[in-house]
Amino acid sequence: MYPDTRLHYTPPHPPGSVALTHEQILGICRLGLDDQHQPWPVQSVLMPVLGPATASLQEVWHTSLPAQDGRFGDVHYRRAGNLLFGVITLEEAQFAGQDGSTALQTLAERAYRQLFALLEQQQCLHLWRVWNYIPRINVEEHGMERYRQFNIGRHQAFAGSQRPVHGSPAACALGTASGPVSIAFLAANSAALPIENPRQVSAFAYPQQYGPVSPTFSRAALAGQSGTQWLFISGTASIVGHLTVHVGDVAAQTAETFANIAILLEQANRQQPRQPFTLAGLDYRVYIRHAADYPAVRAAVLARLGEDSRVVYVQADICRADLLVEIEAQGTG
């Protein structure tokens, strides 16, 4: 038995402004700056931070017990009790396409196979949340959009590791202008409950028009932990059924995205009636395709969440060319 460790999250802040005990850090996400050389796993999200915030922010996953550092192939991870946070950073130039598969597809399969092998080795089998960042995600290469290539490799690793797609983690997949592929994940030795959105076709059941192989993520995941419930809302966009709606209208896309997030909260609250999740109680990350849309998106976000909301905005490519905004969130109930 592993001791039950409480998971804590410190929302984006300027580095150095929050004091944390080093051994209790599980991992860090750094927004807007490359920051690899740290003693714990760091996911550097090389996306411009928008708005009045400083150029670079970090958010921290930490625990109530000391964590131990580890390396497993290309994975840098930290483990504390029944929790594990890891980061995989890979340069695509190190990979060669083979047998009709592209370098990016090979990379994605290798990364996810390593991730799953680590979870087996650690007996920490359950993936709760994955953050995927892919350079030039919308660019078509070798006759296929790069996001679709990534989906093929990721799916092959799920299938090859006996991971059913309907038990997929909450996730996001966004594009950077350049840099490595970066995958961060949070796993535990207890399963998260996948939550789907009745307004949307499940992503793992998307029709072929979005690529030959579907993405492997759930719309949200509810993870029970030390008496706390964590809700992870996947990257959510202006999609109804499987179709993008409000093409070209960023304010309407933002409002539709919140309609989808609100439904996910309702679905989650049906599962855990004790302390309901609320829109205002979550921490948000908003990805905006065109930096110039920031004022319009921010206005639509504030209209829904209010002035006191905890939201960070970054410029990113979104994995459908007609999506202008994507929003993810997390929090405890």
Site residues, ligand 3EB (CB under 6 A): 132, 171-173, 203, 215, 217, 234-235, 237, 239, 319
Q: List residues with catalytic annotation.
A: 326
State the nearest-atom distance from the C-beta of 18 to ligand 3EB, in Å: 28
State the nearest-atom distance from the C-beta of 282 to ligand 3EB, in Å: 16
> Please, which residue, 24 or 328, has the CB nearer to ligand 3EB?
328
Separation CA 4–CA 2 (nearest Å)? 6
State the nearest-atom distance from the C-beta of 7 to ligand 3EB, in Å: 21
> Please, which residue, 25 or 31, has the CB nearer to ligand 3EB?
31
State the nearest-atom distance from the C-beta of 322 to ligand 3EB, in Å: 11
State the nearest-atom distance from the C-beta of 245 to ligand 3EB, in Å: 12
Report the candidate in 285, 304, 297 with the shortest Cα–Cα distance to residue 324: 297
> Please, which residue, 29 or 173, has the CB nearer to ligand 3EB?
173
> Please, which residue, 312 or 316, has the CB nearer to ligand 3EB?
316
> Please, which residue, 62 or 163, has the CB nearer to ligand 3EB?
163
